[in-house]
Amino acid sequence: MVIRLLVACTLMALCVTIHAAGLTYALRRLRRSPIQTRRFWSSTRLFVLIAVWIVLLHLAEIAAWAAAYTWSGAMPDLSTALYFSAVTYTTTGYGDVVLPQAWRLDGGVEALTGILMCGWSTGFFFAIVNRLHEPDTRSTVA
């Protein structure tokens, strides 16, 4: 059980690393590009791009868990593992596919990781929206 928990924590750390790298990349891109926030379609395009990027990060994290399940034999094939991982990570939890007894703690850690990563993504998205629509105080400073 301790080994399983170490594996789960390693996968969680990998997800945090993927997320941190992806969000850092997005922040750097946002800082370098001029953004027309006063225009509806420009803002909307930016929000869609950020949302797609965040979803891609989550899919990479889901794939990492699925690869671990497949590699270890906890799931019969990658397709099933991807489905199970997506359902677990998003805490949908249909229950039609389950992990073997020895792996069930890992499923719980994946769900907790998904909650954490989704919360982080929500905070990031909110911060971007907030920053883009806050009043420009630089022009009012004398």
Q: Which residue has the tokens 């699925």?
A: 66
Average pLDDT over residues 34-54: 82
50 contacts 26 by C-beta, under 8 angstroms: yes
Q: What confidence score (pLDDT) does residue 142 get?
A: 45
Compute the average pLDDT of residues 112-136: 87
Q: Which residues contact 15 (CB under 8 A, 6 or more apart)?
A: 61, 64, 65, 113, 117
- Better pLDDT: 97 or 40: 97
In this prediction, residues 75-100 reach a mean pLDDT of: 95
* Total-model pTM: 0.86
pLDDT of 141 above 70: no
Task: Output the pLDDT for position 35.
Answer: 61
Average model confidence (pLDDT) for the chain? 89
8-state DSSP, 38: T
C-beta separation of 64 from 113 below 8 A: no
Residue 22: partners with Cβ closer than 8 Å, 6 or more residues away: 53, 54, 56, 57, 60
Cα distance between residue 138 and residue 142, in whole Å: 9
Tokens of 106: 């890992």
